[in-house]
């Protein structure tokens, strides 16, 4: 049995430190917006190479609150990848703006900067690139476009904590970065959590008010805000997880390199190939094959977990039926949805498991 993702070993490995963190918070009697959140925010900002970090309730609200802080809303357009998890789109439509999908590069999985220009209109306010699967989007090209057209850029870093573009961390490359600490992410909490990183002092201030009912001073509400706060317990756990993030990402990198090696030369199997300038963190190891159903069946029979990220692109979801898109509207995103398969990956996957997976894949497709 090889599970797709081992969710128990993180606690086993870090039990002493996590139990200490738990006890510290429980005994403090302080659970929301206190020194654990402040400490984690400082550490995480520094890790990302950003001036500010604002801890929030989850990744979706991190994306949404940045758009609100920039006063993006009805009548505005935000460019999003056609190939992404639906949360990226949900943030845009939640503020009443229009999500304008742009197709990925031919190699995939991320938004193609060369296609963005054609989708920019007088209403476009922002670009929301996603570093999907832990593979950085082409931020240099995206930032150049944004500068030329006077647009804001918010990175969706939910799957790419610790990744780099030419030595610089994701989350410090756009005007803001939105992070998720959902348990399965590279730096996962033990519950929900999220954050925004930015160098923009004005944005940071506004987010601190927006996450807390629109209030900076207790019972003084300067605007209509929300309740979206990272809690003290999760912040304490995340301090522990942050200490191991780079080394656990390094384990993922080793697994990915082993997959690359063991899966090379199998006919009809596409392997992930990161651009030269990118340092991915392998949130997922995603292969492509037209014979996916057959391969999934064989893996399942061998007791190996494999998942599809994602089987239905946002434009074909019932949730966005009102957009009037149909099959064929975004053929590159649809082709990916039809062929991608995520193999077991994680910091606790034994290297021997890669061999077992590779044997099944080669036997099925080879």
User: Which sequence positions are flagged as catalytic?
Assistant: 185
Give the nearer residue to ligand PLP in terms of CB position, either 65 or 332: 65
Q: Cβ of residue 180: shortest distance to ligand PLP, in angstroms?
A: 3
Give the nearer residue to ligand PLP in terms of CB position, either 130 or 137: 130
Q: Cβ of residue 100: shortest distance to ligand PLP, in angstroms?
A: 17
Give the nearer residue to ligand PLP in terms of CB position, either 54 or 87: 87
Give the nearer residue to ligand PLP in terms of CB position, either 64 or 200: 64
Binding test (CB under 6 A) with ligand PLP, winner from 194, 313, 314, 346: 194
Part of the chain binding ligand PLP (CB under 6 A), chosen from 155-163, 224-232, 260-268, 310-318: 155-163
93 in contact with ligand PLP (CB under 6 A): no
Separation of alpha carbons 188 and 211, rounded Å: 21
Which whole-number Å values give the CA distances from 21 to 226, 268, 305, in the listed order? Answer: 27, 48, 32
* Positions 298 through 317 that interact with ligand PLP (CB under 6 A): none
180 in contact with ligand PLP (CB under 6 A): yes
182 in contact with ligand PLP (CB under 6 A): yes
Binding test (CB under 6 A) with ligand PLP, winner from 85, 89, 259, 310: 85
Contacts of 98 (CB under 8 A, 6+ apart): 76, 77, 78, 92, 123
Contacts of 57 (CB under 8 A, 6+ apart): 192, 193, 194, 211, 227, 228, 229, 230
Q: Evaluate the omega torsion of the peptide bond into residue 313 and state whether it is cis, within 30 degrees of 0.
A: no
Long-range contacts of 298-302 (CB under 8 A, 24+ apart): 298/360, 298/363, 298/364, 299/357, 299/360, 299/361, 302/356, 302/360
Separation of alpha carbons 193 and 161, rounded Å: 13
Contacts of 146 (CB under 8 A, 6+ apart): 127, 152, 153, 175
* Positions 8 through 67 that interact with ligand PLP (CB under 6 A): 58-60
Element (H, E) at 333: helix 331-339
Binding test (CB under 6 A) with ligand PLP, winner from 36, 135, 155, 156: 156
158 in contact with ligand PLP (CB under 6 A): yes
Give the nearer residue to ligand PLP in terms of CB position, either 80 or 209: 80
The contact set with ligand PLP (CB under 6 A) reads 58-60, 84-85, 87-88, 130, 156, 158-159, 180, 182, 192, 194
């Amino acid at each position: 049995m090889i599970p797709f993702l081992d969710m128990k070993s993180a606690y086993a490995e870090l039990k002493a430190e996590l139990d200490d963190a738990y006890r510290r918070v429980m005994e403090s009697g302080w659970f929301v917006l206190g020194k654990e959140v402040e400490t984690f925010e400082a550490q995480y900002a520094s890790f990302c190479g950003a001036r500010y970090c604002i801890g929030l309730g989850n990744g979706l609200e991190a994306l949404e609150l940045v758009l609100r802080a920039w006063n993006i809303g009805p009548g505005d357009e935000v460019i999003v990848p056609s190939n992404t998890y639906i949360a990226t789109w949900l943030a845009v439509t939640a503020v009443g703006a229009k999500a304008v999908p742009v197709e990925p590069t031919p190699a995939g999985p991320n938004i193609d900067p060369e296609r963005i220009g054609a989708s920019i209109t007088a209403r476009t306010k922002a670009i929301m690139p996603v570093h999907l699967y832990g593979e950085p989007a082409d931020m240099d090209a995206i930032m150049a476009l944004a500068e030329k057209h006077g647009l804001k850029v918010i990175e969706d870093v939910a799957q790419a904590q610790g990744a780099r573009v030419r030595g610089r961390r994701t989350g410090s490359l756009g005007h803001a970065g939105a992070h998720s600490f959902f348990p399965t992410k590279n730096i996962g909490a033990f519950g929900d959590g999220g954050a925004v990183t930015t160098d923009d002092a004005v944005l940071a201030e506004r987010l601190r008010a927006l996450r807390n009912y629109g209030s900076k001073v207790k019972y003084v509400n300067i605007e209509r805000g929300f309740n979206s706060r990272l809690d003290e317990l999760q912040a304490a756990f995340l301090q522990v997880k942050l200490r191991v993030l780079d080394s656990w990402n390094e384990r993922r990198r080793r697994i990915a390199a082993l997959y690359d090696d063991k899966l090379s030369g199998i006919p009809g199997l596409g392997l992930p190939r990161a651009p030269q300038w990118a340092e991915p963190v392998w949130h997922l190891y995603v292969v492509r094959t037209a014979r996916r159903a057959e391969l999934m069946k064989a893996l399942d029979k061998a007791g190996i977990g494999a998942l599809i990220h994602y089987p239905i692109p946002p434009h074909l979801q019932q949730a966005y039926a009102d957009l009037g898109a149909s099959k064929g509207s975004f053929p590159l995103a649809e082709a990916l949805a039809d062929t991608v398969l995520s193999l077991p990956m994680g910091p606790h996957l034994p290297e021997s498991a890669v061999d077992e997976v590779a044997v099944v894949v080669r036997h099925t497709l080879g």
